[in-house]
Homo-oligomer: A and B are copies of this chain.
Amino acid sequence: MTAWDTARRARDTRLHAAARFAQGKRVAASDATALLEAVLRPGDRVCLEGDNQKQADVLASALASVDKARVHDLHMVQSGIVLPEHLDVFERGIARRLDYSYSGPQSQRIARLLFAGKIELGAVHTYLELFARYFIDLTPQVALIAAVSADREGNLYTGPNTEDTPTVVEATAFKNGVVIAQVNEIVDKVPRVDIPGDRVHFVVESGKPFYVEPLFTRDPAAITETQILTAMLAIKGIYAPYGVTRLNHGIGFNTAAIELLLPTFGEKLGLKGKVASHWALNPHPTLIPAIESGWVSQIHCFGSEVGMDDYIRARPDIYFTGADGSLRSNRAFSQTAGLYACDMFIGSTLQIDLQGHSSTVTADRVAGFGGAPNMGSDPRGRRHPSQPWLQAGQEADPDTPAALRRGRKLVVQIGETFGDKNVPMFVEHLDALKLADKLQLDLAPVMVYSDDVSHIVTEEGIANLLLCRDKNEREHAIRGVAGYTEIGRGRDPKMVQRLRERGVVLRPEDLGIDPLDADRRMLAARSIKDLVRWSGGLYAPPSRFRNW
Task: Let me know if B333 and A135 touch, CB within 8 A.
Answer: yes
Task: Let me know if B339 and A278 touch, CB within 8 A.
Answer: no
Q: List 19 A-B contacts (CB under 8 A).
A: A5-B316, A8-B316, A129-B384, A135-B334, A135-B337, A155-B196, A170-B330, A173-B322, A174-B321, A175-B298, A192-B198, A193-B193, A193-B197, A373-B383, A380-B380, A390-B442, A403-B433, A403-B441, A406-B449
Task: Let me know if B125 and A442 touch, CB within 8 A.
Answer: no
Alpha-carbon distance between A451 and B400 when the two chains are bound, in angstroms = 13
Task: Let me know if B339 and A132 touch, CB within 8 A.
Answer: yes
Give residues in A with beta carbon < 8 Å to B. 2-8, 99, 122-126, 128-129, 131-133, 135-137, 139, 155, 167, 170-171, 173-176, 192-194, 196-199, 245-246, 278-280, 292, 294, 298, 300, 314-318, 320-323, 328, 330, 332-334, 336-337, 339-342, 357, 369, 373-385, 390, 402-407, 433, 436-437, 441-446, 449, 451-452
- State how many angstroms separate the Cβ of A196 from the closest Cβ of chain B: 4
Residues in B neighbouring A357, C-beta threshold 8 A: 404
Residues in B neighbouring A129, C-beta threshold 8 A: 340-341, 379, 381-384
Task: Let me know if A383 and B369 touch, CB within 8 A.
Answer: yes
- State how many angstroms separate the Cβ of A535 from the closest Cβ of chain B: 12
Number of copies of this protein chain within its complex? 2
Contacting residue for A322 out of B198, B246, B278, B404, CB 8 A: B198
Task: Let me know if B133 and A341 touch, CB within 8 A.
Answer: yes
Residues in B neighbouring A131, C-beta threshold 8 A: 333, 336
Task: Let me know if A320 and B381 touch, CB within 8 A.
Answer: no
Residues in B neighbouring A433, C-beta threshold 8 A: 403-404
**In the complex, what residue of chain B is closest to A328 when comparing beta carbons?**
B174
Residues in B neighbouring A139, C-beta threshold 8 A: 298
Task: Let me know if A383 and B336 touch, CB within 8 A.
Answer: no
What 6 additional pairs, Cβ within 8 angstroms, besides A136-B280, A403-B441? A6-B317, A129-B384, A132-B333, A173-B322, A176-B316, A406-B443
**In the complex, what residue of chain B is closest to A450 when comparing beta carbons?**
B404
**In the complex, what residue of chain B is closest to A292 when comparing beta carbons?**
B2
Task: Let me know if B170 and A333 touch, CB within 8 A.
Answer: yes
Alpha-carbon distance between A457 and B406 when the two chains are bound, in angstroms = 25
- State how many angstroms separate the Cβ of A283 from the closest Cβ of chain B: 14
Alpha-carbon distance between A200 and B407 when the two chains are bound, in angstroms = 38
Task: Let me know if B336 and A128 touch, CB within 8 A.
Answer: yes
Alpha-carbon distance between A337 and B298 when the two chains are bound, in angstroms = 27
Q: Known: A316-B4, A316-B8. Is A381-B385 also a contact (CB below 8 A)?
A: no
Alpha-carbon distance between A194 and B167 when the two chains are bound, in angstroms = 13
Residues in B neighbouring A4, C-beta threshold 8 A: 314-318
Contacting residue for A333 out of B167, B294, B373, B378, CB 8 A: B167
Residues in B neighbouring A7, C-beta threshold 8 A: 316-317
Alpha-carbon distance between A340 and B322 when the two chains are bound, in angstroms = 30
- State how many angstroms separate the Cβ of A295 from the closest Cβ of chain B: 12
- State how many angstroms separate the Cβ of A321 from the closest Cβ of chain B: 6
